[in-house]
Structure 1
């Protein structure tokens, strides 16, 4: 069956590749969005074109909050690519979005709002969004935008639209330099702000146009590109760490062949296919709906290239970064964290370009618009405060605040400077501890949910054993009845042990503030939603655990029989 599904998928792809030019040109939407998906949002292009975008979000407390993620790949010694670990090696970075749902134009809110996690005043985290191109920018789209450059610069009327004919217009735009990609972004931004400002997101919408940060078109940052390429919010934390994004096929637990999702050089695999650049949208999308993130055209990002050193980016800056590999790469070299360095200029002094590298756009804005200053300042003030780590210290007793007071009241500038350095180091250390505690709380909630699942399984087994014991006793089968009695004793001991672990976890949970517990419960729910089989059950168990932590926090003790009864009752509910 699996091979049949692969064959059918390959047939569908070959049918797509074989579409005639007349069929593609018959529907204007096909040119810019050949594979429509739920959640697509659109910005207009000159000459009646469209730029289709996908949303990505991070659950965060606000603009200043962010999420730590892994980038690159951790090569093992002897593995292909190990000798170049300093290029695409494993490293940690942080990601957040710039827009809330309220920052979006009304049309986008209607499309995206129902697809986002439900939030209310009781949930401390909200989705912070950014937007990235669904497809690589095509030759047609590039020409449409750049045709406006002269008119925008001079103030003259826009030129008449030309008809872009030929299948080549739907190929990714390659043979352009990093500077040309940035010029495209600048021209497109200016055109949108001039003619379609009301259709743009505004970071921190305020009372006046100048309060918030109007969205502009730019290249995605490397972190934005890679988080989205790995699957962003649509995959689990473990899947985000993978070499390639999950490639699910209905009816199978295995990933499908990469060739169904990516255009790359398959000649080495014996297929005889010639490596060439392909039209956008001819393969399957990644988990958040982006096409061709692996293979086809490699894609430029915003930053200059830096090597990877000791799990971080090294301090020297080089050429430009191209992500995702291209159609000339072999399958064995492709992975989501792949990156290449190219010079900005060729040997003859011209701007560097090649036939394998293009780009996709992102939508960015100011990170700190005036309308968000108050929110940002309040979040910044809370960073590194000891009171945020424990309920035992209130805000007024926080030693970091007391140190602030001592510094401000001192008349010795030298002492002020010394104490200021000490206080900043103290806050930095507290912030690191806070991050570690948040991860520990998330793991505690998930593991406790699994303990409840184990308790339920033990109880089911005990129920079956008791039935079997009764049947053996009724049949006067004393030997079997004795065996079942021993098994029941062992099973009861195992259940009691699991319950003891659960209650220990309740006590551990009270060491963390309720705010941290609630925030991590929200993140755990989001994480568990990616598990189609156990996810719903574990979300209910995690929610019950957090409620039990609250009860333990108030009563300073636990009632094991009552807790067990509640756990088993909840397990019996659909």
Structure 2
């Protein structure tokens, strides 16, 4: 039976695929949410060094929620689901086919996604979420989409989000498959047997590596390197050592080797469900209007024009084209600088609110602990026969 929050889409051969919503606390189509991905590590810094990133949702949340969301498959794609999309006839269900599909190429994954998109539009278009009237579609997730969800998204605190792994109530053994006799024991495991992460995603680390949509790039401290290589795989697999299991783990796989397309026995996939960005003329007009306001300082301007508006007015009155171009370039630089300052201010406000929430929670916990100590003291020390430790505990 579907659990609360599950979004179920039908598949060929009477199958289904379950997705989970990943909420982003931003409502506008041009709004995005600042996060930090990767981790600080001298050993793997050139691959995994933490860097700033931004994420946004595809679909507008219903009701009074001012947020957007995208969806990520609850489980890694199984062999049964893959064969239902790619075989000429429906496969016979079995426990073996519940294993994640592996040993397929990145192009095979794209073709399976394409077949699923076409099937949904022909047989279940009404089940697909829409954004501004445009149908959603499935594809491989981006690195930022994958890592934000793998870390627990908004379901975890700021400190937990930055940890090497999401909070695991039952320990790593109870949540993810990894190398060793106490876990996967060198074998691919059935999907969904262990506990999920805070967003309800199963096997997001371990079991099978998961293909990512975009190509691999090295890290240059706070940004990615300019060379695009093979494709990215994330999450680790059933041969990954326990000590190596981390959310920031990322590797490069080539699209091709000497024999042809690369097909790795430890690599599978998990689909994302998203929407197009420019969905209608009205949406384009809204985005254009929002873009023109970025870094303009119009929010702080009162009676006087802001500096950006003053530069714009000055440039419009200049006839010399070279000077006009220089003024326009200066205006764009100022807008970009203003936008960075506004985003930094918003991040500082958000950090202060998170700190306040943490301190309030800590005060509540400390108060409950002190109440417990006081009750324990009254119980043991208020009676006629006092515990020998009472003077010290007073």
TM superposition score normalised by structure 2: 0.87
- Partner of 1:57, secondary structure, is strand
Alignment of 1:517-532 (within 5 A): none
- Tell me, in whole angstroms, the C-alpha distance in 2 between the residues paired with 1:455 and 1:239: 19
| Residue 406 (str. 1) matches residue 314 (str. 2) | yes
Alignment of 1:38-437 (within 5 A): 38-75=4-41, 82-101=42-61, 118-119=64-65, 126-147=66-87, 161-205=89-133, 213-248=134-169, 256-267=170-181, 271=182, 274-348=185-259, 350-370=260-280, 371-388=282-299, 390=300, 393-394=301-302, 397-437=305-345
Asked if 1 retains the 8 angstrom alpha-carbon contact of 2:129 and 2:135, the reply is: yes
Return the index of the structure with the highest Cα Rg: 1
User: Post-superposition, which runs of at least 4 consecutive aligned residues in structure 1 deviate over 3 A?
Assistant: 443-458
- Partner of 1:397, secondary structure, is coil
Q: Please, which runs of 5 or more residues in structure 1 have no aligned partner? A: 1-28, 30-35, 76-81, 103-112, 120-125, 148-158, 206-212, 249-255, 462-574
Structure 1 residues 194 and 449, CA, compared in 2 at 3 Å: closer, same or farther? closer
In the comparison of the two structures, how many residue pairs are matched?
Answer: 366
Asked if 1 retains the 8 angstrom alpha-carbon contact of 2:17 and 2:73, the reply is: yes
Asked if 1 retains the 8 angstrom alpha-carbon contact of 2:184 and 2:207, the reply is: no
Alpha-carbon deviation of 1:311? 2.2
Q: Please, which runs of 5 or more residues in structure 2 have no aligned partner? A: 371-394
Alignment of 1:470-489 (within 5 A): none
Identify the structure with bigger relative contact order (alpha carbons < 8 Å, sequence gap 6+).
Answer: 2
- Partner of 1:83, secondary structure, is coil
Alpha-carbon deviation of 1:273? 6.4
Alpha-carbon deviation of 1:37? 2.4
> Which structure has greater strand proportion?
2
- Partner of 1:181, secondary structure, is helix
TM superposition score normalised by structure 1: 0.60
- Partner of 2:119, secondary structure, is helix
Q: Deviations over 1:477-513 (max 9, x none)?
A: xxxxxxxxxxxxxxxxxxxxxxxxxxxxxxxxxxxxx
- Tell me, in whole angstroms, the C-alpha distance in 2 between the residues paired with 1:445 and 1:132: 28
Asked if 1 retains the 8 angstrom alpha-carbon contact of 2:34 and 2:347, the reply is: no
- Tell me, in whole angstroms, the C-alpha distance in 2 between the residues paired with 1:214 and 1:41: 15
Q: Deviations over 1:435-471 (max 9, x none)?
A: 111122234445567888999999xx9xxxxxxxxxx
- Tell me, in whole angstroms, the C-alpha distance in 2 between the residues paired with 1:306 and 1:283: 32
Asked if 1 retains the 8 angstrom alpha-carbon contact of 2:59 and 2:131, the reply is: yes
Alpha-carbon deviation of 1:395? 7.3
Asked if 1 retains the 8 angstrom alpha-carbon contact of 2:236 and 2:249, the reply is: yes
- Partner of 2:90, secondary structure, is coil
Asked if 2 retains the 8 angstrom alpha-carbon contact of 1:239 and 1:245, the reply is: yes
Structure 1 residues 277 and 384, CA, compared in 2 at 3 Å: closer, same or farther? same
Alpha-carbon deviation of 1:139? 0.4
- Partner of 2:53, secondary structure, is strand
Asked if 2 retains the 8 angstrom alpha-carbon contact of 1:306 and 1:318, the reply is: yes
Structure 1 residues 448 and 185, CA, compared in 2 at 3 Å: closer, same or farther? closer
- Tell me, in whole angstroms, the C-alpha distance in 1 between the residues paired with 2:358 and 2:123: 54
